[in-house]
Amino acid sequence: MKKAVILTADKFEDMEVMYPLFRLQEAGWQVDVAAPKKEAIHGEFGYGELKPDILIEKVNPDDYDLLVIPGGSPEGAPAIVRKIKKAQEITRSFFDKNKPVASVCHGPWLLADSGVIKGKRLTSYWHDGVPESVKAAGGKWEDKEVVVDGNLVTSRWPADLPAFMREVMKLVSK
């Protein structure tokens, strides 16, 4: 069974966590939600409450085939996760091993802070300083619903999730 890990925290963007979670489960994947604490986390719009499966600090990236980095409000989950050194280490490990990484909305903040996107094409939410962070980290930001660069799939926001997951599923089925 293939395994994915979603790195998030409280105040996640509901659809950006739930849509990939359910789509991957539908395809037979085991999906672990990793958060900074083991207490319930909540979507910013009230659709989702999740009990994390694992602490981010306990994630062994070698145990997973796919890394998913969703977004949320600029003061919510992505702002928290991007500052966690272990989340940065997990991200670097996936890139070092050329394993699939999927990130949407404010999630690319973690990619930028992890130092893994120099020369990579990607997209993100278009406000809140996300494109500026991507560019400052050497990424080539594009305003498209989905951008695929090797094993990296990125999208801008919840309305792009169908295109995002279509490309993620293509990538992980190779």
Domain with residue 99: its CATH number is: 3.40.50.880
Token pair belonging to 53: 């499966």
Q: According to the model, what pLDDT value does residue 46 have?
A: 87
Give the mean pLDDT per block of 10 residues along the chain (174 residues): 97 97 98 97 89 98 98 95 98 98 98 98 97 98 98 98 98 92
Q: How many domains is the chain built from? A: 1
pLDDT, residue 115, reads 98
Any catalytic annotation for residue 106?
yes
> What pLDDT shows up at residue 49?
87
pLDDT for the residue 174: 81
Strands 101-104 and 66-69: parallel
Catalytic residue among 106, 107, 113, 147: 106
Which structural domain range is residue 72 located in? 3-172
The H or E element spanning position 15 is: helix 14-26
Write the single-letter amino acid at 62. Answer: D
